[in-house]
Structure 1
Amino acid sequence: MDAAGRAPAALAPRRGDDAVTVPDLRVGPVRIGSIDALRGLVMLLMLVDHVREFFYYHAQVRDPIDLAVTAPDLAATRLTAHLCAPVFLLLTGLSACLYAGKHGRAAASRFLLTRGLFLILLELTLVNLAWTGTLLPPVLYLQVIWAIGLSMVALAGLIRLPRPALAAVALLIMLGHNLLDGIVLAPDQAGYTLWSILHQRGFLGLPWGVARTSYPVLPWIGVAAAGYALGPWFSLAAEARLRRLLALGAAALAGFLVLRGLNGYGDPTPWQEGATLGGTILSFLNVTKYPPSADFLLVSLGIGLWLLALFEVLPAARLGWLRVFGGAPLFFYLLHLWLVRGLYHLLLALGLAIGGSGRVEAGAPAQLWLIAALVSVPLFFACRWMVGLKRQARYPVLSYL
């Protein structure tokens, strides 16, 4: 997502052919460090969660996390991954606005459309191959890359709206889509396929099996649109931008506390008082991700906005390693799946399977973080190499990575 992170030597707002005012990035573009750093952080958290998928299969967590049978440390590890998808979709929209500031709305719309279709194709092929080991698995999972791709396709049209209208649409989708929870269609009903893609997790028939709509896309379209609406803030002075990021993050977190505290609208899974304070807190934070509830989006995006504000003020030297991971996100995503899968099968070939399960199993959630740290080392050097290639700008196709 190379177009995502470019900032000007001198910022000045312009309107040009864009319906949404965007920062002028036509002079001296450089990477926006805070965006790359935040993207890098959530991708590392994603790495931990995907290590869990391979090395902790014997203790899989459901959605929502069943705190009655799930150890608190495993639940907490899983909850950290809740930041990943919403923050990444927000940055996708923000990055698209910055791209429009450099190339214009029409070019941004084309880029969103073609890149979105490219991501959908990747989900159906290389991503599923990495997860399942076969190109035609009995269950084809339509997950986060699919959701990002469809959101970009939708955003290609939505960016033609004026900024206030775009922001209103984003808020309406993110905070209002739970009003649609009562619409549940059966596979034999009209509209089931479309509704399963948009809002209801389901199974779609394929010639060789089924497709699982793991990430219903409607709420994610709202998140991407919200990110695009935030883009003009990067034409403001640093202090003004920081104040707005902090204020919006605080508003989102306050909204979460109110909605979640009322235990009504905002999430289909009510929280319950646990045997301990920690159990109660985990239950309070155990919000629905598939599809992401209003509560889920408020808390995750609120934290994400505060982290973005933090990375705005931290010295660039402290963020360099995160910016490397965030500078080639799709490359990171594809490579990390194959590295984790390769490591798992290498250990399996070395005879490290445990007991009668025939699997290589981590003994505790803390070990998942250690394995992820190990995998992140070759990922760092590979991403640094890719970022260097992208900066040379000799291979336009690398902008898709």
Structure 2
Amino acid sequence: MNNPSKRIASIDVMRGLVMLLMTVDHVRETFFMQHQVSDPMDPAATDPGLFFTRLAAHFCAPMFVFLTGLSAWLYAHPPSGARHATGFLVKRGLLLVALEITAVNFAWTGTLVPSIVYLQVIWAIGLSMLVLALLHRLPLPALALVGGTIVAGHNALASVAFEPGSAASLAWTVLEQRGFLMTDPVRIKASYPVLAWIGVILLGHACGPLYARSAAPAWRRRWLVLAGTAGLALLVALRSVNLYGEPVPWTAQADALHTAMAFLNFTKYPPSLDFILLTLGCGLLALAWIERSDTLATRVLAVFGGAPLFYYLLHLYALLALQKLTAAVLGVPRADVGQVWQVWAIAVLLPVLLYWPARRFGRYKRESGKAWVRYF
């Protein structure tokens, strides 16, 4: 893939893969509620099929946040020449925060006034974009240093605490300790601590020059493979001795499968260093491989990745409608499935149904020239 459009396509393909893995996890949360899992998952109490289904979804947020930072660099460096990205980042960040509080919460609860307003991944991405808007003009090596320091060092802050109810405690809840920001008159819970995600978006932005027009594809792939391999090697070194980077140590289990589950049992809230090393390490290797692949599958994935926010909202409302319809047909308060394979079956069917709307919107986004569609 030697021209700019092909390079952008590889990013869309990766986003599309993330969208489909995310769909699996959201189907699980919609139709498999009777088998909820905690974070981190307990390998002694979780069925392997459910464990690895959840593990697959772990790759979504890190890669999407990383690609958000990378895409912000691409936005600031189009073929026509450099432009300021501050306004775009601020407006998109505020839009995401607003959507989380309104449209996303309604999609999950089906009510305009939910008992709890959850601030989840869209909120975290929005806040990360606002921070990037403040910092993106720093030299890229400085951004990489700050991002890497946050990702590598935030686990050392796990014991930090402030007086409950204080401004510092509320700020720390947003940054590193998930919990309630408000209980009256509305209960608001920050479910995605954002500090580590800020580090990831800064790292993504610092990697933007890998996709510059002047970057040779072979050189870019070498760096992606090198960075991905180094991340996974560091993960193995740290995790093998339970040295640092993951608050939940692993121990040998009754068999090899459950031992592997214990080894891969990484904390997501907030994302531990080991969690990020696994997901970004594999993600960078996948980016390098995807760039050399042009198949029907990658072209389909690029459709979902070309309008990610549109697909995100569309699939949430489709799941809400499907849950309500199925429950009404069965005459039950809530429809659930009993097997993990049924979760995957629904997650395969849903994108098939949503492919054409996503494709039409993606085409409209590319051809309309309207400013607002860039945000979706």
Contact 1:105–1:159, Cα closer than 8 Å, also in 2 = no
Q: Which amino acid aligns with 1:130?
A: A
Query: Paired residue for 1:25?
Result: none
Query: Paired residue for 2:202?
Result: 225
Q: Distance in 1 between matches of 2:110 and 2:14?
A: 31
Query: Paired residue for 1:268?
Result: 247
Q: Distance in 2 between matches of 1:360 and 1:180?
A: 41
Q: Which amino acid aligns with 2:30?
A: F
Q: CA offsets, 1:134-158, max 9 Å, x none?
A: 2332211100000000000000111
Q: Which amino acid aligns with 2:106?
A: L
- Alpha-carbon deviation of 1:352? 6.0
Residues 1:343 and 2:322 are matched in the alignment: yes
Q: Which amino acid aligns with 2:99?
A: L
Q: CA offsets, 1:375-394, max 9 Å, x none?
A: 11121111101011011133
Query: Paired residue for 2:134?
Result: 157
Gap change, CA 1:197 and 1:172, over 3 Å in 2: same
Query: Paired residue for 1:210?
Result: 187
How many equivalent pairs are there? Answer: 373
Contact 1:219–1:291, Cα closer than 8 Å, also in 2 = yes
Among residues 308, 312, 316, which one is paired with 1:333 in the alignment? 312
Query: Paired residue for 1:20?
Result: none
Query: Paired residue for 1:382?
Result: 357
Q: Distance in 1 between matches of 2:327 and 2:250?
A: 40
- Alpha-carbon deviation of 1:186? 4.6
Q: Distance in 1 between matches of 2:244 and 2:277?
A: 13
- Alpha-carbon deviation of 1:208? 2.9
Query: Paired residue for 1:248?
Result: 227
Query: Paired residue for 2:339?
Result: 364
3-state DSSP class of the match of 2:288? helix
- Alpha-carbon deviation of 1:213? 0.9
Matches within 5 A, 1:61-210: 61-102=37-78, 107-210=84-187
Relative to structure 2, which stretch is displaced further, 191-200 or 205-214? Answer: 205-214
Q: CA offsets, 1:240-295, max 9 Å, x none?
A: 10100000000000111111112131011111211110101011111000000000
3-state DSSP class of the match of 1:188? coil
Contact 2:77–2:83, Cα closer than 8 Å, also in 1 = no
Gap change, CA 1:394 and 1:63, over 3 Å in 2: same
> What's the TM-score, normalizing by structure 1?
0.90
- Alpha-carbon deviation of 1:395? 2.2
Q: Distance in 1 between matches of 2:82 and 2:133?
A: 9
Query: Paired residue for 1:294?
Result: 273
> What's the TM-score, normalizing by structure 2?
0.95
RMSD: 1.7
Query: Paired residue for 2:367?
Result: 392
Flag structure 2 segments of 5+ consecutive residues without an equivalent. none
- Alpha-carbon deviation of 1:107? 2.4
Query: Paired residue for 1:257?
Result: 236
Q: Give the % identical residues.
A: 49
- Alpha-carbon deviation of 1:131? 0.7
Q: Distance in 2 between matches of 1:188 and 1:117?
A: 25
Gap change, CA 1:104 and 1:125, over 3 Å in 2: farther
- Alpha-carbon deviation of 1:202? 1.1
Q: Distance in 1 between matches of 2:13 and 2:68?
A: 14
Contact 2:44–2:258, Cα closer than 8 Å, also in 1 = no
Gap change, CA 1:352 and 1:253, over 3 Å in 2: farther
Q: Distance in 2 between matches of 1:278 and 1:115?
A: 43
Q: Distance in 1 between matches of 2:182 and 2:354?
A: 36
Contact 1:136–1:208, Cα closer than 8 Å, also in 2 = no
Q: Which amino acid aligns with 2:42?
A: D
Among residues 1, 6, 14, which one is paired with 1:38 in the alignment? 14
Q: Which amino acid aligns with 1:370?
A: A
